[in-house]
């Protein structure tokens, strides 16, 4: 069409030269060159326009629009949000958690398969549970978050025995997205022997996959553990208080899960929200009661049961709410902790006595964890 349009213009100009003899041929040449350049620029602009591709979520769920898919494991570009987690705004609402992975760039994720058996471990520690740990702490973390892992290794992750019970801490990551980053991760694994890696894209969108892979590892490599905890990498844990809870005669040994309970939470349908879930993935208007993903502890018999339930529950991208949906499928109701104030989202201004009382709370940085741990552990 552009060619025909251009040809007609040239024809008209040529006729104009015949009928208006005072117009010099050089003018026609200049006009022709200008039109050619304009057409080339127009076509170039069209080639630079972004193309919107369809986004397919989990197995049979599609028709959701492309939005900011997270992939810091692939891009390495981190856009940190200046959020002071220790000083929340008044009446701050607690949303589904996703703190282990930060939003980064617009990289579309085209296909998701949530069931863990669709993945395999590229880094594994299959013999870690031969010593029969009582409690296993599973920390989902992004591959690049070495500082967070080292902070945990030097604080609560360094405690191997609490009140005479063996405790084990492991980190789970997805794909690094680069040969150099993978080499560094493998070297870290050889040094610490506490890294697990599975072959899924490590992204915010895939936190459900990440959690289900954790459950699968517990079910297949560590079924002898009495309890397990999924805990985010930005958390403080008081393991003395945790162990007192688990060793209480009133704490069930099976079908037990507790933490920060989320009741009657509406499903967010705003497509601009970080926590948007399409109706195709989860049609109900509200989630079943679930536990905030910052840190929940459960009897380890549930890991295998949750993996099995996930075969029947369509996956969606809010990982803690999805675990709640699997628990509902199993007929297991999350339990309120004996002292709900011990599972805290935010503690506000630092007070040593508060950290001596809680089991979990969110911190703002790895260095903050180190500083608070030193203060809590100092002799009195």
Query: What is the per-residue DSSP string for 19-64?
Result: H-TTS-HHHHHHHHHHHHHHHHHHHHHHHHS-----B--BTT---B
Q: How far, CA to CA in Å, does 24 sit from each of 29, 30, 31, 131?
A: 9, 10, 11, 95
Sign of CA dihedral 225, 142, 99, 305: negative
142 token code pair: 């992004």
CA torsion sign for 306, 185, 195, 355 is negative
Average of pLDDT values for 12-21? 43
- Please check the confidence at residue 20 and state whether its pLDDT lies above 90: no
Mean pLDDT for 101-120 is 51
Q: What would the mean pLDDT of 233-247 be, rounded to a whole number?
A: 98
Q: How far is the C-alpha of 273 from the C-alpha of 7, rounded, in Å? A: 50
Identify the residue whose tokens are 């030193």. 374
Residue 107 pLDDT: 33
What Cα–Cα distance (Å) separates residue 284 from each residue in 80, 277, 287, 311? 32, 10, 7, 19
pLDDT at 10 over 60: no
Q: Binning pLDDT at 50, 70 and 90, where does residue 37 land?
A: low
Note the pLDDT of residue 348.
87
Q: Above 50 in pLDDT, residue 86?
A: no
User: For position 177, what pLDDT does the model report?
Assistant: 84
Superfamily holding 72-377: Spore Coat Polysaccharide Biosynthesis Protein SpsA; Chain A (3.90.550.10)
Output 116 or 154, whichever has higher pLDDT.
154
- Report which of 39, 19, 37, 17 is spatially closest to residue 28, judged by C-alpha positions: 17
Handedness of CA 295, 301, 304, 308 (dihedral sign): negative
Lowest mean pLDDT among 24-28, 92-96, 310-314: 92-96
Q: So what's the pLDDT on residue 119?
A: 87
- Report the mean per-residue pLDDT for the chain: 79
pLDDT computed for residue 67 by the predictor: 26
List the one residue out of 149, 176, 145 whose CA is nearest residue 80. 145
Report the run of H or E that residue 154 belongs to, with start and end: none
- What average pLDDT does the segment 218-246 reach? 98
Rounded to an integer, what is the distance from CA 266 to the centroid of its chain?
Answer: 20
Give me the pLDDT at residue 58, please: 34
Number of H helices and E strands in the chain, helices first, is: 11, 12
> What's the token pair of residue 19?
């009928």
pTM (2 d.p.): 0.73
Are the C-beta atoms of 257 and 333 separated by less than 8 Å?
Answer: no
Categorize the per-residue pLDDT at 23 as very low, low, confident or very high, splitting at 50, 70 and 90. Answer: very low
Query: Which position has the higher pLDDT, 8 or 340?
Result: 340
On the question of pLDDT at 73 being above 50, the answer is no
Distance from CA of residue 184 to its chain's centroid?
A: 21
């Amino acid at each position: 069409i552009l060619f025909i349009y251009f040809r007609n213009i040239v024809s008209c100009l040529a006729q104009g030269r015949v009928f208006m003899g005072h117009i010099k041929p050089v003018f026609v040449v200049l006009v022709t060159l200008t039109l050619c350049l304009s057409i080339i620029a127009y076509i170039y602009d069209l080639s630079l326009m972004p193309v919107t591709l369809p986004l397919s979520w989990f197995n049979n769920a599609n028709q959701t629009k492309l939005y900011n898919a997270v992939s810091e494991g692939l891009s390495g570009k981190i856009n940190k949000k200046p959020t002071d987690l220790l000083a929340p705004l008044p009446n701050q609402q607690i949303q589904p958690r996703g703190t282990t992975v930060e939003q980064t760039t617009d990289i579309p994720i085209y296909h998701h398969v949530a069931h863990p058996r669709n993945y395999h471990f590229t880094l594994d520690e299959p013999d870690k549970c031969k010593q029969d740990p009582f409690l296993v702490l599973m920390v989902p973390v992004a591959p690049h978050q070495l500082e967070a892992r080292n902070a945990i290794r030097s604080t609560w992750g360094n405690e191997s025995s609490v009140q005479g019970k063996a405790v084990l801490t492991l980190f789970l990551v997805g794909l690094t997205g680069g040969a150099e980053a993978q080499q560094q991760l493998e070297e870290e694994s050889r040094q610490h022997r506490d890294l697990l890696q599975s072959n899924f894209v490590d992204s915010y969108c895939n936190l459900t996959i990440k959690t289900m892979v954790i459950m699968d590892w517990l079910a297949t490599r560590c079924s002898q553990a009495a309890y397990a905890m999924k805990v985010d990498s930005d958390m403080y844990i008081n393991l003395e208080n945790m162990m007192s809870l688990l060793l209480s005669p009133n704490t069930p040994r099976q079908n037990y899960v507790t933490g920060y309970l989320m009741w009657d939470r509406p499903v967010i349908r705003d497509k601009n929200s970080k926590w948007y879930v399409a109706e195709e993935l989860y049609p109900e208007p509200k989630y079943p009661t679930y536990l905030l993903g910052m840190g929940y502890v459960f009897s380890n018999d549930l890991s295998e049961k949750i993996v099995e339930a996930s075969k029947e529950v369509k996956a969606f991208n809010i990982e803690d709410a999805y675990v709640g949906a699997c628990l509902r499928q199993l007929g297991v109701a999350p339990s309120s902790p004996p002292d709900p104030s011990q599972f805290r989202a935010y503690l506000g201004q630092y007070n040593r006595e508060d950290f001596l009382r809680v089991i979990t709370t969110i911190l703002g940085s790895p260095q903050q964890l180190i500083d608070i741990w030193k203060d809590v552990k100092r002799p009195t």
